[in-house]
Amino acid sequence: MYRNVINQLVEWKSSNERKPLILLGARQVGKTYSLLAFGKQHYKHVAYINCDDNDQVSGLFVQNFNMDRVLLAIAAITGVPVVPGETLIILDEIQELPRGLASLKYFCENAPEYHVCVAGSLLGITLRHGESFPVGKVDIIRMFPMTFDEFLIARGKDLMVEQLRKKDWSVLTSLHQTLVQMLREYYLVGGMPEVVKAYLKTNDPNTIRKIQNKILLAYRNDIAKHTTSDEAKRIAMVWNSMPSQLSKENKKFIYGVAKKGGRAKEFEVAIQWLIDAGLIIKVGRVSNPQMPLKIYEDLSAFKLYLLDVGLLGAMAEISPATLILPNNMKEGKGMFTENFVCSHLAASREQSIFYYSKENSPLEIDFIIQNGSRIVPIEVKAEENLKSKSLSTFLQQHDEMHGIRFSMSPYREQERMTNVPLYGAGVFFA
C-alpha cells in the first residue's frame, strides 16, 4: 500500500547532509513495510536485519564500534553486498539490540557514505532506560497511521486524492457525498495498515473490529513489557480512560477520570510514556493567541487524543453501523471528529497543536496552530451545522485572523472564516 512517508525517505536519500535515519512511530503503523518498500524501489540492494530476539546480531555492537567489522558482519548475516549508495541497511526493532542506538553516532562519523535506516516501536521509551541517544548524529522522520488520503489511494481512488491535494474545491464539491461516505468508512476502519488491508479484502466490520482489538491488546502487552509494574498500572489507567476523557464536552484531561483522586504528579510519567510511544497526541492550552504559541502554553492544562480514530471506536466499543451510517451516532460525534482532525494535523505538519481557552470564560477554540507566519484558529463540527459561535466571537476579538471550520458541509468562503469539508483536513495545511 502506498504511504506518504516514502516521499520523505526519497528526500532523505538525496540529501547532501544525510545522516542515519530513525523512523519513529507507534507499533504497527507500517514502519517496516515502508522502509522495505522504499529500499526495493530506490536501491539496488536491501540489507534487512530484525534485531528482536535475534542471536545472530545480539553482539553486533557489544565488542566495539569498528565500522569495517560491523559492515562485514551485516553483509555476512544478510547475504547482501553492502555498497555505499547502492545498499539500504535497515535495522528493525533496534531498541532490542544492545548499544544499537549508540551505533548510529559511529555510522554517521565513520561511515557516512552508507545509507542506514532504523525503526523500532516504543523507541522513545527505551531511550529513558540508559541508552545514550546520538544527538545531532541522526535524522528523524515521524510516521503515523494511514491518513484519509492514503486510505483513498488504497481504495483505488487516486484521482480523488489528486484533486484533494490540488485543493480543487469546485471538483471536490461534485464528489462531496461520495467523499463523505468514504470518510465515514474511515471512521470505522482508521489507518492501521493491517486493518485497512483486511477491510479491502473482506469488507467485514466484524473482522475489522477483531484486528483493532488485537492491536489494542498488543499495545497493552507493550505497556507491561517496557516498564515497571507500578508504572504500567498508571499508564494503563491513562490509556483506558481515553474514551471517557474524550467524550466529555470539555475535553481537557482530568486526572480524576483516570483514577479517583488522581493528581498530576502521579500520572506525568505515564502520560509522557504514551506520548513517546506514539499512542497519544498531546494538545496544550494557550490563553494568549500570539506568536510563537509555544511560549504561551499552559503546561497544567491539555487535551489528549488517540493516534487513530479507528482504534478509538474499538476502545469505546461503538458499533460499526453507528460509525458508517449518517445520523446514527447520537453521542460521541464530537470526540470522533476532533480526534480525526487532530491526528491529521499531527500527520501533515511538524509544529505543535494547541487549543485556546481562558479561565472563567466559556469561550474555547478546538485547535489553534501556527501556519507559516499566521495563527489559525480552528473549529470542528461533526455534521453540517455551520453555526460557529465560539469561533465568531474569537474572530471579533482578533480581527487580524481568519478562521477555519471543518465540517461535513462543502467548501465555502465566508467573511471571516473558511468552511473546509472534513475530508480535506489532512491536506489543507500540507
Query: Does the structure show a pLDDT above 70 at 330?
Result: no
pLDDT in tens, 79-117: 999 999 999 999 998 878 888 888 999 999 999 999 999
Task: Give pLDDT, residue 122.
Answer: 60
387 falls within a domain? yes
Q: Which of 142, 157, 183 is the last residue of a domain?
A: 142
> Which residues have CB under 8 Å from 91's CB, separation 6+?
49, 51, 97, 100, 116, 117, 118, 119
158 and 74 in one domain? no
430 falls within a domain? no
**Residue 121: pLDDT band by 50, 70, 90 thresholds?**
low
Amino acid at 410: P
Alpha helices in 305-420 (DSSP H): 309-315, 320-324, 333-348, 389-397
pLDDT in tens, 144-199: 999 999 999 999 999 999 999 999 999 999 999 999 999 999 999 999 999 999 99
248 falls within a domain? yes
CA distance linking residue 310 with residue 145, whole number of Å: 10
CA distance linking residue 111 with residue 320, whole number of Å: 51
Short-list 163, 143, 144, 161, CA closest to 152: 161
Task: Give pLDDT, residue 388.
Answer: 72
180 and 122 in one domain? no
Task: Give pLDDT, residue 99.
Answer: 87
273 falls within a domain? yes
60 and 159 in one domain? no
Q: Which of 125, 142, 159 is the last residue of a domain?
A: 142
Task: Give pLDDT, residue 176.
Answer: 96
CA distance linking residue 226 with residue 104, whole number of Å: 22
**Residue 67: pLDDT band by 50, 70, 90 thresholds?**
very high
Are the C-beta atoms of 116 and 71 separated by less than 8 Å?
no
298 and 172 in one domain? yes
CA distance linking residue 3 with residue 165, whole number of Å: 15
Q: Which of 124, 142, 160 is the last residue of a domain?
A: 142
Question: Please, what sign has the CA dihedral across residues 358, 363, 364, 370?
Answer: negative
**Residue 321: pLDDT band by 50, 70, 90 thresholds?**
confident
Work out the number of other CB atoms within 10 angstroms of the CB of residue 32.
Answer: 18
Average pLDDT value for the chain: 92
For residue 14, what are the domain limits? 5-142
134 and 282 in one domain? no
34 falls within a domain? yes
Q: How do strand 115-119 and strand 87-92 relate by DSSP bridges?
A: parallel
Query: Does the structure show a pLDDT above 80 at 118?
Result: yes
* Residues paired with 115 in a beta bridge: 88
14 falls within a domain? yes
Task: Give pLDDT, residue 127.
Answer: 54
174 and 32 in one domain? no
Tell me what the mean pLDDT of segment 63-91 comes to.
95
What is the reported pTM?
0.93
Are the C-beta atoms of 5 and 35 separated by less than 8 Å?
no
Are the C-beta atoms of 44 and 86 separated by less than 8 Å?
yes
Amino acid at 64: N
**Residue 39: pLDDT band by 50, 70, 90 thresholds?**
very high
Short-list 250, 253, 275, 279, CA closest to 264: 253
Of 236 and 222, more confident = 236
194 and 75 in one domain? no
173 and 58 in one domain? no
295 and 195 in one domain? yes
429 falls within a domain? no
179 and 135 in one domain? no
Task: Give pLDDT, residue 332.
Answer: 67
CA distance linking residue 41 with residue 3, whole number of Å: 13
CATH code at position 38: 3.40.50.300
Tally of domains within the chain: 2
Task: Give pLDDT, residue 140.
Answer: 93
Task: Give pLDDT, residue 126.
Answer: 54
Work out the number of other CB atoms within 10 angstroms of the CB of residue 414.
Answer: 13
Q: Which helix (H) or strand (E) holds 36?
A: helix 31-42
